[in-house]
Amino acid sequence: MTQPILETRKLGMVYRGHRDVAALTDVSFTLHRGRALALVGESGSGKSTCAKILTRMVTATGGQILFDGKDVTRPGNRREVLAYRSQVQMVFQDPFAALNPAHDVRHHLSRPLALHKPELGRGEREDRAVELSMMVGLDPVETLGKYPHELSGGQRQRVNLARAMAVDPSVLIADEPTSMLDVSIRLTILDMFKPLKRDRGIAMLYITHDIATARYVAEETAVIYGGRIVEIGPTSAIIDAPRHPYTRLLLAAVPEIGRPFGATDASLVREADRVREISREPGRLSEVAPGHLVRECSASHI
């Protein structure tokens, strides 16, 4: 495979406090142009911490980040940080909180251009705002002059996506982009990621607690628990032939994925606490099939 655009090597994060929290331990994965990796796990597993490190909102306490083969682990000077940020953009979970109620859509789409592409004139910024709104399925004539409160949740998330795309990033990180939206429109939002990957070669990290949507968005999936990746590989293998008990537990909780509750799954759900306990073990990641890695744990019989 080609060189990854973004790579983490044994990324670690310990939040220091009166009680230290090891939010991430030895997290390694790669993001490739035109492809998506789903990072799946329940609340508190470390998903947002990972997003925050990759977007430079916090600095990792261990490990390395490579962007296009270059070590970018330590934040550089202001110019370097700005350049990196324009390449790695983020879409947040809460579409309303991410937008400033005092500004219209035009402002939200033009502002990143003013910051990252100061060479563009006012007319060019307007053209780009029109193009961006059309890219996310919003009518520019109707939408550019509107304020966040005049938009539906789905429309707001489209504006957030357009804003993230404004500076032509190569990596998009979406942290639970649909979990606050009405169920009926979630797929239409997820659908917008496909052309970004296909036509613009965007590499994507899709963060979700809903393993069923991984298949819809991502070629690869990493399952994370307690800050450690317990299983990573092609999404089809993870969903159709899961190996780690924790992955199977997540899947057992999703009836609509088309996997009938088998005897194994029922006992898994009964033993959920035990599954979580063994999933915290720092076992070795071993390759069970090409590109499919599973963390060894003490209860392969579950």
Ligand X SMILES: Nc1ncnc2c1ncn2[C@@H]1O[C@H](COP(=O)(O)OP(=O)(O)OP(=O)(O)O)[C@@H](O)[C@H]1O
- What's the token pair of residue 156? 């707001």
Name the strands in the sheet holding 70-71, side by side, starting at the edge strand that comes first in the sequence. Answer: 21-31, 6-15, 62-67, 70-71
Give the nearest distance from C-beta 207 to Mg ion in angstroms. Answer: 7
Give the nearest distance from C-beta 148 to ligand X in angstroms. Answer: 22
If the CB atoms of residues 49 and 110 are measured against ligand X, the closer one turns out to be 49
If the CB atoms of residues 165 and 207 are measured against ligand X, the closer one turns out to be 207
Q: Length of the chain in residues, anyone?
A: 302
If the CB atoms of residues 65 and 173 are measured against Mg ion, the closer one turns out to be 173
208 scored as a contact of Mg ion (CB under 5 A): no
Listed in sequence order, the residues at least 6 apart from 234 whose beta carbon sits closer than 8 Å to its beta carbon are: 219, 220, 221, 291, 292
Q: Please provide residue 37's backbone torsions phi and psi, each rounded to the nearest 5 degrees.
A: -115, 130
- What's the token pair of residue 266? 């029922």
Contact 253, 269 (CB under 8 A): yes
If the CB atoms of residues 51 and 268 are measured against ligand X, the closer one turns out to be 51
Contact 34, 201 (CB under 8 A): yes
Provide the binding-site residues for ligand X, judged by CB under 6 A: 15, 17, 21, 23, 41, 43-49, 209
Q: What mask of x and - would describe binding to Mg ion in positions 41 to 80, judged by CB under 5 A? A: -------x--------------------------------
If the CB atoms of residues 32 and 52 are measured against ligand X, the closer one turns out to be 52
Give the nearest distance from C-beta 209 to Mg ion in angstroms. Answer: 8
Which region among 40-48, 160-168, 190-198, 230-238 touches Mg ion (by CB under 5 A)? 40-48
Which residues does residue 12 pair with via DSSP β-bridges, in sequence order?
62
Select from ligand X, Mg ion, none the partner in contact with residue 258, using the beta carbon and a kind-dependent cut-off of 5 to 8 Å. none
Q: Please provide residue 156's backbone torsions phi and psi, each rounded to the nearest 5 degrees.
A: -65, -40
Give the nearest distance from C-beta 7 to ligand X in angstroms. Answer: 20
